[in-house]
Structure 1
Amino acid sequence: MTEAGGLAFATSPQAVGFDPQRLSRLDDYMSGMVEAGQVAGTSTLLMRHGQVVAFQTHGKARIGDAEPLGRDAIFRIYSMTKPVTGVALMILFEQGHWTLDDPITRFLPELSDLKVFTGMDDQGEMVVEDAVHPPTMRELMSHTAGFGYGLFDFHPVERAYRAAGVLRADSLDNLVQRVARMPLMFQPGREWFYSVATDLQGLIVERISGQSFGAFLSERIFEPLGMVDTGFHTRPDNQHRLTAIYRGDGTGGLKEATTAFDMPINDFTQPPRMEGGGGGLVSTATDYARFCQMILNRGELSGTRILAAASVDLMATNMIPDAVLATANPLRLLPFNPAFGFGLDFAVMLNPAAIGAVEGRGTLSWGGGGGTWFWIDPENDLVFVGLIQRLADPVSDAFRKEARALVYAALTHPEK
């Protein structure tokens, strides 16, 4: 077996239950999207039974480059940072620093007097009421605490977050101060909304550990797992491997993005103003695959244990209340329902057959606003990491759906 980024390659796709001809359709799709000018480059890594089944790159790190995209290319992974933040917090959970039903005000006293949005008055001002209880750690990690984000434009609280520049804070301490001035979108535990909650988790890690968030991640996760290229900025010796980021130009082509979510694109060559737990990391396909394989192995990789198996199982348990799953709400980023929920910083597939999904029961997943995505399928013992360089839109969303369909269409021996 050869090695890539410390990962062992399977001797053949057939050896781990894949039809190579069918699997080549995934490669054809990715190369075709590059040739069609829909993305600058793609990097996809599929693992099963702890071995790399397929690892392919197409295109360039930057349109116009002479060299092809390398396997060691570094991507802005945006919200794929969130599960890493969750693992950091679970390390402290195992040390007895907090429990799921602790109020977050234990660590974030700035949020002790939160109000809850109930509507708008005749003067266009928000009407609020008292929160029935402070959000809990469980609610914070499952996006059911009621916080906004400032990325969207379809709710008064969201617009207030954006106007206040919550995500433009220059530190995590400053961020929580800005959040404290905003009402919650709903009473804690009563709904699901994608939010700034994971950045608040990063601040809790800092306050419990006494370290900067980046230092904690490096010491407790990245270095033990051999994630040598993952962090909040690139090292001087690998800045040339950082890929550019693009968006659709409105005419079927691409243009380089200078802003994302109404904020300047961080070039990641210098330390950021804020080490955000919600979307601040860069990584490579092999680094992030090592993280995913650790989760698939229930907390361990190559003899190094990051979490206890029980802690990973807890992260993979749905935390959205049944009453919320039983109803639809256009505020949710994804159509959560009794078959598809959200655990602690991961989406979790509860009953794939019920909603026509092809992955295994218990699959964990998420993605990033720059077009990156992953899933971890414990039932079929596989991991997939997909990295592209296109800000979230219908085209980048199509990559995720197509990759899933093509991978499982090539799987000849499902389950372990």
Structure 2
Amino acid sequence: MHRRAFFAAALTATLLATGAFAAPKGAGDLSGTTSPEAVGFDSGRLKALDAYMAKAVADGRVAGMTTLLARHGKIVEFNTYGKTSLATGEAMPKDEIFRIYSMTKPLTGVGMMILFEQGKWRLDDPVTRYVPEFKNLKVMVEADKDGKITKVEDMKRPPTMREIMSHTAGFGYGLGDKHPVDKLYREKKVLGATGLHEMIERTATIPLMYQPGTDWSYSSVVDIQGYIIEKLSGKPFGQFMAENVFGPMKMQDTGFYTGAAKAKRLAAVYVGEVVNEKPTGKIVQADDLFGNKMPDYSVPPAMESGGGGLVSTTMDYARFCQMILNKGVLDGVRILSPASVELMDTNVIPHNVLVNSNGTSVVRFNEAVGFGLDFQVDNDPRKAGSLEGKNTMSWGGAAGTWFWIDPTNDVFFVGMIQRMGGTGGDDLGTMARTLTYQALLHPEK
């Protein structure tokens, strides 16, 4: 045995023997509920959270909603509001299925880390080791006033896997069309490919936005991760995720499609109504997604999107959050080691990129807020102006879904709605954080 491999094996054996890989003390499986006071919350102050969410529905900002707050492995609140559909008027049930869009990304990241633990890849490997189609990528230098790229240059080096996991590789996305590279992603229908390999081939024909590692831009890299998972595991991406992530965590309603039997449980998705280029304040059912027709989730998709293709329920996603809080284990089934969870929860954006990046329309990266491996990471929440605990992990989805996982306070929260293009007012996820933590009066409990 190689010397380093011998010491790694010896260290793992020691950690297992000492219980270092066990779930943290008090880790739960979400099988029970608790009163707010038993875990440090003030039930009276929590009513402000409930009232705000109820008002968002009553005001017509969203048709319906579910929220789930948990601490120490027990459910503190699991609430439903409004309707699954304004057309049917059916009350929102707790087991409704939602399009979670970019909340798919952290789950894909867990799939990547499972292969990382198997020694299939390393953070500083060039992505071209696994995707040779990217060896001849160019980098955009200039574009004309019409957004047509007029000058490119060679990559100084290929993107690394670390950059693929943190949106610093330089790839575009096509969710918008303001950047010349994003325009090409739309023109070439990268996200509309008929399979992951075709997505890779289309991506390989488009220049990067910038030299790898020099900036941050929200991108298609997690779809690229899905392709890498498929290639390294030798299994279709969805099958790998079902066998190694969804199945072991008992996420029984999570997948890339509902199937015919469950299709009626999929909530309707809405968008703010606009008449004569002015918002009316009402919502109408959405019929397209970023310029493409809404997919039929009752049948398997042409491409299993690691960046945004999953549907899930509030409880399924809560089980995922609890696994992360438990440092990689749930119901006695270990998905990841504690060290791998900690690695995902560590900012990997270089300092110069972190302080210069604009992030997204919702997230502004700086020294207090960074990005780990497929998660936003709050390095210093107080400096960032928020109330959650240090190293809180989070992200959201295009239809307004959100979550956060707070290892410092052993808290997580999942919020599910279905409205594209913003929520018609203050961001619901941001408000939920403030209203949750203003009620956590005894965090020592």
Same fold by TM-score, threshold 0.5 exceeded?
yes
Deviation at 1:328, TM superposition (A): 4.4
Count, aligned residues: 411
Pairing 1:14–2:43 present: no
Alignment partner, residue 213 of structure 1: 237
1:266 aligned onto 2:290: no
Of 255, 258, 268, which aligns to 1:244? 268
1:158 equivalent among 148, 167, 182: 182
Structure 1 residues 254-296: Cα deviation after superposition (integer angstroms, max 9, x where no partner): 1000101111111311101100000000000000000011111
Deviations 1:101-151 (A, max 9, x none): 111111111111111111125895431111111111000000000000001
Structure 2 Cα separation of the partners of residues 105 and 58 of structure 1: 47
> Would you identify which runs of 4 or more consecutive aligned residues in structure 1 move more than 3 Å?
121-125, 328-333
Does the 8 A contact of 1:41 with 1:57 survive in 2?
yes
Shift of 1:392: 2.9
Give the conservation status (yes or no) of the 8 Å contact 2:34–2:75.
no
CA contact (8 A) 1:362 1:377 kept: yes
In the alignment, the residues of structure 2 paired with residue 77 and residue 106 of structure 1 have an alpha-carbon distance, to the nearest angstrom, of: 31
Q: String of CA shifts for 1:191-222, please: whole Å, max 9, x gaps.
A: 00000000000000000011111100100011
- In structure 2, what is the Cα distance between the partners aligned to 1:234 and 1:73? 11
CA distance in 2, matches of 1:301, 1:410: 27
Q: Is contact 1:381-1:415 (8 Å) kept?
A: no
Aligned to 1:174: 198
Aligned-pair CA distance for 1:164: 1.3
Output aligned runs, 1:60-139, within 5 Å: 60-120=83-143, 124-139=148-163
| Residues 162, 397 of structure 1: alpha-carbon distance in 2 compared, 3 angstrom cutoff | farther
Q: In structure 1, what residue type is equivalent to 2:254?
A: T
Unaligned segments of structure 1, at least 5 residues: 1-5
Shift of 1:325: 1.5
- Whether 1:36 and 2:36 are equivalent positions in the alignment is no
Contact 2:125-2:161 within 8 A present in 1 as well: yes
Matched, 1:343 2:369: no
User: What is the CA–CA distance in structure 2 between the aligned matches of 1:79 and 1:122, rounded to whole Å?
Assistant: 31
Write the distance in 2 (CA, Å) between the matches of 1:408 and 1:357. Answer: 9
**Structure 2: which 5+ runs fail to align?**
1-28, 274-278
**What is aligned with 1:3?**
none
Matching residue's letter, 2:264: H
Code of the aligned partner of 1:209: S
> Match of 2:377, SS?
strand
Where 2:76 maps in the other structure, the secondary structure is strand
Q: Residues 371 and 397 of structure 1 are in contact (CA less than 8 Å); yes or no, is this contact kept in structure 2?
A: no
Residue by residue, what CA displacement relative to the aligned partner does 1:145-170 show, whole Å, maximum 9, x if unpaired?
Answer: 00000011221111111111111111
Q: Which residue number corresponds to residue 5 of structure 2?
A: none
Q: Secondary structure at the match of 2:247?
A: helix
Q: Distance in 2 between matches of 1:81 and 1:111?
A: 24
Amino acid of the residue matched to residue 396 of structure 2? G
Residue aligned with 1:80, SS: helix
> Which aligned pairs between 1:404-415 and structure 2 lie closer than 5 A?
404-414=433-443
Q: CA deviation at 1:38?
A: 1.1
The one-letter amino acid of 1:193's match is: S
Q: 2:211 aligns with which of 173, 184, 187?
A: 187
In structure 1, which of residues 268, 274, 295 is the aligned counterpart of residue 324 of structure 2?
295
- Of 33, 47, 56 in structure 1, the residue corresponding to residue 79 of structure 2 is 56
1:352-363 aligned within 5 A? 352-363=381-392
Does the 8 Å CA contact 2:96/2:267 hold for their aligned counterparts? yes
Question: Normalization by structure 1: what TM-score?
Answer: 0.96
Instruction: Give the match's secondary structure for 2:227.
Output: helix
Q: CA deviation at 1:326?
A: 2.5
Tell me whether 327-336 or 226-235 shows the greater mean CA deviation: 327-336
1: distance between equivalents of 2:80 and 2:264?
A: 17
* TM-aligned CA deviation for residue 330 of structure 1: 7.0
How far did 1:179 drift? Answer: 0.4
Instruction: From the superposition, tell whether residues 405 and 122 of structure 1 become closer, same or farther in structure 2 (CA, over 3 Å).
Output: closer
Query: Which secondary structure state, in structure 2, belongs to the residue aligned with residue 57 of structure 1?
Result: strand
Alignment of 1:197 with 2:226, yes or no, is no
Does the alignment pair 1:383 with 2:412?
A: yes
SS at match of 1:326: helix
Indicate the percent of aligned positions where both proteins have the same amino acid.
Answer: 54
Alignment CA distance shift 1:115-1:415 (3 Å): farther
Partner of 2:400: 371
